[in-house]
């Protein structure tokens, strides 16, 4: 619960500030994942052995929307939606992005399953 002073400002306690800072940090990761997915070539996703670009845009887009709502309305970090949204973006950033990025670079330095191609 927020308490207001005479000027109408919310007086946030240290835990509320920490909650909000973590929500904004998660929002940054979610936005980065969505923008990165937008920038990657469509064919790089299946070539990297990952789901389609459309599916990852939906996943990261919903994650971004949940993160934006959570940060704007100071949703508690123990709520399930902000946690799921962050995990979805983190999976994209740590598993999908590195492989899709490598495929999307192009050139003769690509390594196929049996060497360069």
> How do the domains of the chain map onto residue ranges?
16-105
Whether the per-residue pLDDT at 111 is higher than 50: the answer is: yes
pLDDT in tens, 75-108: 987 899 999 999 999 999 999 999 999 987 754 4
Residues 46/97, Cβ–Cβ less than 8 Å:
no
Instruction: Report yes or no: 59 and 7 within 8 Å, Cβ to Cβ.
Output: no
Taking 80 as the threshold, does the pLDDT of residue 5 lie above it? no
Whether 116 shows a pLDDT value over 60: the answer reads no
Digit-coded pLDDT (tens) for 18-61: 899 999 999 999 999 999 999 999 999 999 999 999 999 999 99
Give the list of residues 6+ apart from residue 5 with CB closer than 8 angstroms, or none: 11
Q: What token pair was written down for 56? A: 């990852």
The answer to whether the beta carbons of residues 78 and 23 sit under 8 Å apart is no
Query: Tell me, what's the pLDDT at 74?
Result: 86
Tell me 58's DSSP state.
H
Q: Does residue 64 register a pLDDT over 60?
A: yes
Residue 11, CB-side half-sphere exposure with 13 Å CA sphere: 5
């Amino acid at each position: 619960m927020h308490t207001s002073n005479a000027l109408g400002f919310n007086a946030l306690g240290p835990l509320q500030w920490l909650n909000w800072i973590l929500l904004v940090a998660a929002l940054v990761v979610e936005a980065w994942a969505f923008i990165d997915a937008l920038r990657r070539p469509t064919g790089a996703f299946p070539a990297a052995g990952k789901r389609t670009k459309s599916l990852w845009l939906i996943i990261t887009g919903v994650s971004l929307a949940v993160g934006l709502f959570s940060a704007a309305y100071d949703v508690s970090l123990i709520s399930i939606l902000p946690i799921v949204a962050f995990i979805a973006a983190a999976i994209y950033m740590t598993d999908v992005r590195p492989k899709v990025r490598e495929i999307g670079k192009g050139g003769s330095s690509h390594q196929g399953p049996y060497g360069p191609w």
